[in-house]
């Protein structure tokens, strides 16, 4: 799907977005208890009730909860009885949004509720994430998520594309702009800290936190009924790279570039970009892959360095981009989500508001 | 609000995985101190080897030996090793391109500090003393001053190939059940069963999860239900579960406690298994020190009318 209009294709827009505050722990809440206020918030923005929604799709991971089929309990929050049209991805909610978008394209539904959530606090996230690695050659060594990101950061430094102060500047800027984001977990002046895994310091790494997000998609005139300025999805695409890190050039993100090209991101400049870059070095890699210069407002929310709730942080990027269009602060925005170690998988969406 | 409940939750599993021809040869080679790569159709050598070309998706089967020495292509200093990692003293994570290979392998490098490693450092494999045919047969890498190691001339054919690995995995969690279930568990400690009523449809959910799955709204109003209830449906269990000292066959049932809007699960005792029936009236049996009813037994009341529980099946 490119930015060009395909005959007969439906226009689909993000019409509402809501997110929780991201917190280091939410012991007092179950997943569904954490999620429900967000679901109600996003429905309230459109006046829709759960029974009005044509398709529901969610993203989460059993490995965060330590329980099989953990997403089924969260379904209570969307009123899943009587039976609804529903699906789930064991990934970030950005990929649930992609599935919902294709569902709306088929014409089988006119509205979709997309939500995702993650509670990282019950487990040790660095260890939990090792279980997504190649189980034969890599996972038995238990290389944690920070270590793998540190290898990527060192590769970037060796290539002369960054140094430790450039990395620090990315984290500092993210948390400075996050002072305007009441949902962010780390805001303002945060010490760059000691090495977590050298060359990455704690300030180069995302906070570990719990949180949830939800968006509503709608097709055609329905979108205009539900939102005064819908964020039209002009293109969306996702690509993956070889899972073996030693095969990839860690200083580049060809999958992001290809997804952006297929989503139409390079056809006209964007004014806003929300990048899912959990580690400082990754923002530098992504800016290059997406050819974003200083004229583009990048991660005004603070991005993943200010709040990185697993499974929701990518959907939040798309939601933040859409919300800026809703508020008239952007006319053409790029939303990006990633999954896997060192930017293994990448999704890019291009969103536009109606001309003013 | 009561104190937040927490309990350790350990998820542990020995994943048994079979190997294809390429992975089998590679891991068997490690057992024999031989490193194998695989040739791609465009002439590159992938180490570690895979069965399909990551670029073209071609089938790859052409094994080729590479050296046990190589060059660090990137690294990261790990001052605080975590459980399961290759070394328990500070070490460098490294990607190493072995001599003869075009791609890099992830592993650990044993050096005294971050000043002893850089991109370009020459290294060699330190083999584990006991090798089973696993990536951990490489204990780690260590610095290497000399020439590239000489290949042994292996063809990748082995007398006793490894065909699978067992990869144990353990993750530790601290489980919190949330507000609604915490309140339920707290009440159970006084042998009371408390559900929550939906403010919209007025159904009482037991055990409560904090949301009404029909209306999709939060529930909060606590309502005591039971202790007696009605068997709405049941099954007869004939297979003995590991570590469970209940004689088979036994009956596991859905039980609608009086006042509850849906049924919960429980074992039925105190009656021969083949006499349990829909509509049977039951009550909980507690054992000393238990945190939930051990089982439910007949109360002796007349059976409930089908119409009284048909909505709760």
Contact B54 A247 (CB under 8 A): yes
Q: Which residues of A touch B108 (CB under 8 A)?
A: 141
Taking each helix axis from N to C end, the angle separating A93-106 and A313-326, rounded to the nearest 10 degrees, works out to: 60
Contact A30 B179 (CB under 8 A): yes
Residues A303-323 as b/e (b if ≥16 CB within 10 A, e otherwise) read: bbbbbbbbbbbbbbbbbbbbb
The C-alpha atoms of residue A336 and residue A318 are separated, in whole angstroms, by: 7
Answer yes or no: is pLDDT of A180 > 60: yes
- The pLDDT value given to residue B33: 96
Q: What SS3 class is residue B50?
A: coil
Give the tokens for residue A7: 């005959």
Mean pLDDT of the A331-340 span: 98
The C-alpha atoms of residue A286 and residue A265 are separated, in whole angstroms, by: 13
Choose the weakest-confidence range: A214-218, A240-244, B92-96.
A240-244
The C-alpha atoms of residue B278 and residue B91 are separated, in whole angstroms, by: 64
Answer yes or no: is pLDDT of B132 > 70: yes
- Between strands B204-205 and A195-197, the pairing is unpaired
Please check whether residue A69 touches B, CB under 8 A: no
Question: In percent, how much of chain B has pLDDT > 70?
Answer: 99
pTM beyond cutoff 0.90: yes
Nearest to B159 by CA among B68, B18, B47, B31: B31
Please check whether residue B16 touches A, CB under 8 A: no
Mutate to test the interface with B, among A40, A126, A146, A247 (most CBs of B within 10 A): A247
Please check whether residue A72 touches B, CB under 8 A: no
The C-alpha atoms of residue A338 and residue B133 are separated, in whole angstroms, by: 34
- Between strands A332-339 and A272-274, the pairing is parallel
Contact A33 B210 (CB under 8 A): yes
Nearest to A94 by CA among A328, A290, A321: A321
Torsion sign (Cα): A63, A67, A71, A73:
negative
Nearest to A117 by CA among A186, A70, A171, A55: A70
**Confidence grade of residue B151 (pLDDT, cut at 50, 70, 90):** confident
**ipTM surpasses 0.90:** yes
Task: Locate the DSSP E strands across A20-54.
Answer: none
Out of A30, A245, A246, whose CB is closest to B209?
Answer: A30
Out of A27, A78, A141, whose CB is closest to B6?
Answer: A27
Answer yes or no: is pLDDT of B84 > 60: yes
**Confidence grade of residue A7 (pLDDT, cut at 50, 70, 90):** low
Between these two residues, B149 and A100, which has the higher pLDDT value?
A100
Contact A195 B77 (CB under 8 A): yes
Please tell me the total number of residues recorded for chain A in this structure: 356
Please check whether residue A159 touches B, CB under 8 A: no
- The pLDDT value given to residue B290: 86
Give the tokens for residue A92: 């970030």
Average pLDDT along chain A: 95
Please check whether residue B135 touches A, CB under 8 A: yes
Residues 6+ apart with CB under 8 A from B253: B231, B232, B233, B234, B235, B265, B266, B267, B268, B276, B282, B296
Average pLDDT along chain B: 94
Q: What is the pLDDT of residues B185-202, one digit of tens each?
A: 999 989 999 999 999 999
Out of B47, B134, B216, whose CB is closest to A79?
Answer: B216
Taking each helix axis from N to C end, the angle separating A280-289 and A145-158, rounded to the nearest 10 degrees, works out to: 60
Q: What is the pLDDT of residues B261-304, one digit of tens each?
A: 989 999 999 999 999 999 999 999 999 888 899 999 999 999 99
Mean pLDDT of the B12-27 span: 95
- The pLDDT value given to residue A1: 47
Out of B73, B105, B171, whose CB is closest to A123?
Answer: B171
Contact B85 A158 (CB under 8 A): no
Q: Compare all CA atoms of chain B with the CA of A153 and give the residue at the minimum distance.
A: B76
Answer yes or no: is pLDDT of A6 > 70: no
The C-alpha atoms of residue A175 and residue B129 are separated, in whole angstroms, by: 48
Please check whether residue B42 touches A, CB under 8 A: no
Contact A198 B209 (CB under 8 A): no
Residue that the structure tokens 């993956």 belong to = A240
The C-alpha atoms of residue A252 and residue A97 are separated, in whole angstroms, by: 26
DSSP A248: S
Between these two residues, A83 and B296, which has the higher pLDDT value?
B296
Mutate to test the interface with A, among B30, B101, B111, B178 (most CBs of A within 10 A): B178
Q: How far is B173 from chain A (nearest CA, A)?
A: 4
Q: How far is A331 from chain B (nearest CA, A)?
A: 34
Q: Which residues of A touch B175 (CB under 8 A)?
A: 66, 122
**Confidence grade of residue A8 (pLDDT, cut at 50, 70, 90):** low
Nearest to A45 by CA among A74, A76, A14, A75: A14
The C-alpha atoms of residue A309 and residue B192 are separated, in whole angstroms, by: 37
Q: What is the pLDDT of residues A121-168, one digit of tens each?
A: 999 999 999 999 999 999 999 999 999 999 999 999 999 999 999 999
Please check whether residue A160 touches B, CB under 8 A: no
Q: Are A156 and A285 in contact (CB under 8 A)?
A: yes
Answer yes or no: is pLDDT of B246 > 90: no
Answer yes or no: is pLDDT of B218 > 50: yes
Q: Are B63 and B156 in contact (CB under 8 A)?
A: yes
B145-153 contact pairs (CB < 8 A, 24+): B146/B69, B147/B69, B148/B67, B148/B69, B148/B99, B148/B100, B149/B67, B149/B68, B149/B69, B149/B99, B149/B124, B150/B67, B151/B65, B151/B66, B151/B67, B151/B100, B152/B34, B152/B65, B153/B65
Answer yes or no: is pLDDT of A98 > 70: yes
Residues 6+ apart with CB under 8 A from B82: A126, A127, A142, A144
Q: Which residues of B touch A138 (CB under 8 A)?
A: 106, 135
Q: How far is B65 from chain A (nearest CA, A)?
A: 17
Backbone angles phi, psi at B16, to 5 degrees: -100, 120
């Amino acid at each position: 799907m490119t930015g060009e209009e395909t005959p007969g294709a439906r226009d689909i827009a993000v019409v509402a977005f809501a997110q929780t505050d991201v917190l280091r722990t939410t012991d007092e809440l179950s997943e569904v208890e954490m999620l429900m206020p967000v679901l109600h918030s996003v429905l309230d923005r459109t006046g829709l009730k759960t029974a009005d929604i044509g398709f529901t799709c969610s993203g989460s991971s059993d490995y965060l909860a330590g329980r099989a089929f953990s997403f089924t309990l969260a379904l209570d929050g969307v009123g899943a009885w009587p039976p609804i049209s529903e699906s789930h991805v064991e990934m970030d909610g950005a990929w649930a949004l992609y599935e919902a978008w294709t569902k709306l394209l088929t014409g089988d539904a006119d509205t979709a509720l997309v939500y995702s959530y993650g509670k990282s606090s019950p487990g040790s996230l660095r260890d939990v994430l090792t279980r997504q690695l190649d189980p034969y050659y890599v996972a038995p060594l238990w290389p944690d998520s920070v270590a793998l990101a540190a290898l990527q950061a060192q590769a970037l430094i060796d290539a002369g594309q960054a140094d430790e102060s450039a990395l620090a500047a990315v984290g500092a800027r993210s948390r400075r702009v996050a002072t305007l984001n009441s949902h962010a977990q780390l805001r303002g002046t945060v010490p760059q800290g000691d090495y977590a895994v050298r060359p990455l310091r704690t300030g180069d790494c995302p906070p570990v936190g719990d949180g949830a997000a939800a968006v509503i998609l709608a097709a055609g005139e329905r979108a205009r009924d539900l939102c005064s300025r819908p964020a039209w999805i002009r293109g969306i695409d996702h690509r993956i790279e070889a899972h073996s890190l030693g095969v990839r050039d860690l200083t580049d993100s060809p999958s992001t570039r290809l997804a952006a090209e297929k989503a139409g991101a390079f056809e006209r400049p964007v004014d806003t970009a929300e990048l899912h870059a959990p580690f400082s070095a990754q923002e530098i890699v992504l800016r290059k892959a997406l050819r974003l210069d200083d004229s583009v407002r990048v991660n005004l929310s603070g991005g993943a360095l200010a709040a990185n709730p697993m499974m929701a942080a990518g959907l939040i990027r798309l939601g933040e981009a859409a919300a800026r269009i809703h508020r008239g602060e952007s006319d053409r925005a790029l939303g990006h989500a990633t999954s896997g170690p060192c930017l293994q998988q990448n999704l890019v969406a291009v969103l536009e508001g109606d001309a003013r | 609000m009561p104190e937040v409940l927490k309990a350790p939750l350990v998820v542990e599993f020995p994943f048994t995985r079979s190997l294809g021809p390429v992975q089998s040869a590679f891991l068997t080679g490690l057992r024999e101190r031989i490193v194998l790569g695989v040739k791609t159709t465009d002439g590159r050598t992938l180490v570690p080897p895979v069965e399909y070309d990551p670029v073209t998706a071609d089938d790859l089967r052409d094994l080729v030996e590479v050296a046990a020495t190589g060059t660090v292509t990137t690294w990261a200093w790990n001052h605080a090793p975590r459980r399961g990692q290759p070394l328990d003293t500070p070490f460098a994570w490294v990607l190493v391109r072995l001599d003869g290979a075009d791609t890099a392998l992830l592993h650990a490098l044993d050096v005294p500090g971050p000043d002893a490693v850089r991109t370009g450092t020459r290294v060699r494999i330190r083999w584990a003393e006991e090798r089973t045919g696993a990536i951990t047969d490489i204990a780690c890498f260590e610095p290497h001053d000399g020439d590239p190691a000489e290949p042994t001339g292996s063809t990748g054919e082995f007398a006793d190939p490894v065909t699978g690995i067992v990869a144990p995995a353990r993750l530790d969690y601290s489980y919190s059940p949330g507000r609604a279930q915490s309140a339920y568990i707290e009440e159970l400690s006084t042998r009371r069963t408390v559900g929550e009523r939906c403010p919209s449809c007025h159904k009482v959910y037991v055990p409560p999860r904090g949301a009404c799955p029909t209306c999709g709204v939060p529930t909060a109003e606590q309502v005591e239900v039971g202790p007696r209830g009605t068997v709405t449906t049941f099954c007869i269990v004939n297979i003995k579960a590991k570590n469970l000292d209940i004689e088979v066959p036994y009956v596991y049932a859905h039980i609608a406690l009086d006042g509850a809007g849906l049924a919960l699960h429980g074992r039925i005792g105190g009656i021969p298994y083949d006499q349990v029936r829909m509509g049977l009236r039951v009550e909980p049996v507690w054992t000393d020190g238990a945190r939930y009813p051990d089982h439910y037994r007949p109360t002796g009341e007349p059976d409930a009318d089908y119409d009284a529980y048909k909505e709760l099946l």
